[in-house]
Amino acid sequence: MKPPLHARDDRGLLARTHYSSKNPESERKKHRSQKTTHSLTSKLITVFFILLSSAIFFLGFASSKLLKQYLTANIDQELMTHAEPAKKHVLELVGINAPDQNGGYNLSDYFIQLNYTLPGVDRMKVFESVSPQVLKEYGNPTGILDVVSDLPNEPITLKGSIAGKEWRALVVPVKNYETDYGTTGYFVIAKPLSPIEYTISRLQLIFTLAGLATVLAAGLLVTGMISRSLRSLRDIEEATHKIAAGSLSDRVPHGHDRDEVGVLANSINAMLAQIEHAFEEKERSEIQMRQFISDASHELRTPLATVRGYAELYRLGGVPEDRVMDAMGRVESEANRMSGLVEDLLQLARIDEGRPLEWQRIDLTQICKNALMDFHARSDKRPTQLIALDGTESPEPVMALADTDKIIQVVSNLLSNVLTHTPPGTPVELAVGIENNHPVIEVRDHGPGISPESSERIFERFYRPDNSRSRASGGGGLGLAIVAAIIGAHGGFARALRTPGGGLTIKMVFPPYHNDDEGAAPAQKSTPATHKKRGNRGGWSLWNTKNTKAPKTTKASKSAKGEKNAKASKSAKGEKNAKGEKNTAG
C-alpha cells in the first residue's frame, strides 16, 4: 500500500513524508524540475537566437538595398553622362550629322537604338547596336517602343529578352537642327543590371555565411553564460524542494549579493528564517496549549470529583443529618476553588488578548505602604517593613505610569503568597526605589525559599516549585503567572531572586518614567508572549535607556509630592469603599 503524502510526526505537527529516489512520484517531481529548468534555458536561448538572427537578417537586407540603390544610381549617372556623346556618335555613323573631327565613341558596353523619322516618312528604326558578348549573356531589352512613346525623362528599368535579366535605359530626343523640324526621333541607350545583381548576390552570400558563423559562436557563448547564470537558480530550486519536503533548516545557497539571483536568495533565506521561527513558535504554542489544557483539566478534576462525590453521597442518603452542613461546606469550598481558578484563567486570557489598561501616574511607594498595612491587618504577628532598595528606611516617592488597580492586585497577590507559603512569623519586606532609571518593587520574604531550578520556572502557569507550595496550601499555580503577565503588559518584567540570608524575592521592574508621560501608555510594551520568549531573567532590552535620566527633585518638592499622592490615594480609596468592593481580577 502506498504511504500517504503527508503524515503527522511524533510532535503532532504536519510533515511531508520523505521518499527515496526509487519512488515514482519523486522521479516525476525530479523530471518535472529538470524539465522546468531546461525549459527556461531553452526559452532564453531561443529568444536570443531569434533576436540575433533577425538583427543579422535585417542588417543584410538593408545593406543589400542600399548597395543596390547606390550602384543603380551610378549606372543612371553613367547613362546620363554618356547619352549625348553616344547619340552624336550614332548620328554621325548613320550620316545624319557631319563626322566629328575628334574621333569616334566606344559603344561596346551599351545597347544602342536610334529611331529617326524623316519629313513625310513614317517612323522607322534606323540604327541598333549591341556587342555579341552582351547580347549572348544578357539579351536585348524589351518594351522599348512603349518606353519611347511615354517620353520618359529619367532612367528606367526594362526587362530583358532573357528571363531574369534587367536593363537600365535612358531615352533622349533627337532633333534636326538643319531643317528645324523639332523632334524627329529618339535615342535609347541602356546598360544591363546583371553585374549589380551579381554583386548583391555575393554580398548576400557573405552576409549569410558570416551571420551563421556569428549566430553559432554567439549561441555557444550565450548558452554557456545562461547555463552558468541559471546554475544558482537550479541550486535554489533544489534547496526549495528540500525545504518543501519539510527540511526548514536548510538555506538557499547564494553567490554574489549584488546580482538579482543573490538578492533573491537572500530574500528567500530571510523568508525561510521567518517561516522556521513561525513553525517553532507554533510548535511551542501547541505544546504550551496542550500542557495548559492538561494542567487546567487536572486542576478542575479534583474539586469536580469532590463536588460530585458529596452530591452522590447526599442523593443516596449517605450523609447523616448532623454532617449535612459539613458536606455542603466542602461542596461550597471546592466550588469557590473552581471559581477562583476560572477567574484566574479568565484574567490571564484577558491579559493575553492585550486589553487596554487604565494608564495613570501613580506612586509605587504609597501603593506598597497601603498594601503592607492591609497585610499587617491580616497577619499582625509577622514583622513587616517598607524600605528603599538600598536598605534605608522611609523610601522616597517613586513615580510610575501604570494601572493602579493592577499594581495593587500584583502586590497584594505576592503578599498573599508569602502569607500562604511561609511559616508563621516569617519577616516580610517591601522595597521600592529607582534602579538604572527604572522604577522597581521587591517583595522579600525570609522563608524557606525555592531551588535555583524552580526560580527559572516559577512564573509558568500551573507550576508549583515544591511540596511546600502544593495544592493543599490552596494555590492553583496561577498567582505568579498573573503577576508576570500584568507586569509584562505594563512593559516591564518580573524575576525570582534569592533573598540575602534565605528566602524568596520577587523583583518587578517598570519602564522609565518621565514627567511628560502622564496619561500616556509607554512607547513600547511587553506582552505575556514576549515575556515568556525572553524568559523570567529578562533584561533592559525592552527600553532605550541611553538618554533617560531620573527626575531631579528637591526634598521639599518630594515631600509635597508624597503628601499630595497620599491624599489622592486616600481619596481614591475612600471613593472605592463607598462604591463597594471592586473586583480586580481583570
CA distances from 263 to 242, 244, 256, 275 (A): 20, 21, 8, 18
Torsion-angle region of 383 (φ positive above 0: left; ψ -120 to 50: alpha; else: beta): beta
> Does residue 38 register a pLDDT over 60?
no
State the Cα–Cα distance between residues 353 and 205, nearest whole angstrom.
81
Average pLDDT, the chain: 75
Confidence of residue 516 (pLDDT cuts 50, 70, 90): low
Confidence of residue 66 (pLDDT cuts 50, 70, 90): very high
Closest C-alpha to 92, from 187, 157, 219, 168: 187
Using a 10 angstrom Cβ sphere, with 0-12 exposed, 13-18 middle and 19 or more buried, the burial of residue 363 is buried
State the Cα–Cα distance between residues 74 and 210, nearest whole angstrom.
27
> Does residue 36 register a pLDDT over 60?
no
- What phi, psi does 11 have (nearest 5°)? -90, 0
> Does residue 101 register a pLDDT over 80?
no
Locate 543 and state its grid cell.
527600553
Per DSSP, the residues of 323-389 read GHHHHHHHHHHHHHHHHHHHHHHHHHHHHHHTPPP-EEEEEHHHHHHHHHHHHHHH-TTS-EEEEET
Confidence of residue 526 (pLDDT cuts 50, 70, 90): very low
CA distances from 249 to 156, 235, 437 (A): 80, 16, 41
263 in Cβ contact with 252 (< 8 Å): no
Spans of all domains in the chain: 274-353, 357-579
Locate 300 and state its grid cell.
478542575
- For the domain 274-353, what is the CATH code? 1.10.287.130
- What phi, psi does 430 have (nearest 5°)? -115, 120
Locate 553 and state its grid cell.
527633585
Q: Which residues share a beta bridge with 399?
A: 363
pLDDT of residue 403: 92
pTM for the whole structure: 0.47
> Does residue 566 register a pLDDT over 50?
no
> Does residue 362 register a pLDDT over 80?
yes
Locate 264 and state its grid cell.
533573491
Strands 493-498 and 428-435: unpaired
State the Cα–Cα distance between residues 314 and 334, nearest whole angstrom.
16
- What phi, psi does 152 have (nearest 5°)? -70, 150
- Topology annotation, domain 357-579: Heat Shock Protein 90 (3.30.565)
